Structures are given as C-alpha cells and as structure tokens.
Amino acid sequence: MKKIDSFVWLIWFLLVIAWNYGYPAATPFLDVLVALILSILNMLILKFIKK
C-alpha cells in the first residue's frame, strides 16, 4: 500500500508542476487553489483505492 501512496503523491506533484509551468501568469491565489483542489482529489483517490 505504501507504493500506491507514493505513486498517487507523485502524480499530484507532477500535476502541480504542470499547472505552474502551463499557466505561469496565474496569480498566487490560483496556484494555491489548484494545489488544494488537486490535494483533495488525491485524498479521494486514495480513499477509493483503499476500500
């Protein structure tokens, strides 16, 4: 199960990086908002997988 957690975290991390490079003109507020949304999705995916 530890590998799945690490893999999902890595996907989240790559998506945050993709957001920051894909939308460099985004405000800091949007950066935090997108990271928060991706984090919530990360938790939901982990909860779904662990069932």
**In this predicted model, what pLDDT tens digit does every residue of 1-51 receive, in sequence order?**
688 888 888 998 998 899 989 988 989 999 999 989 999 998 898 888 887
User: 3-state SS string over 1-51?
Assistant: CHHHHHHHHHHHHHHHHHHHHHCCCCCHHHHHHHHHHHHHHHHHHHHHHCC
pTM > 0.95: yes or no: no
How many structural domains does the chain have?
A: 1
In a 13 Å sphere around the CA of 35, the CA atoms on its Cβ side amount to 11
Q: Which domain holds residue 30?
A: 2-49
Of residues 40, 44, 38, the one with CA closest to residue 19? 38
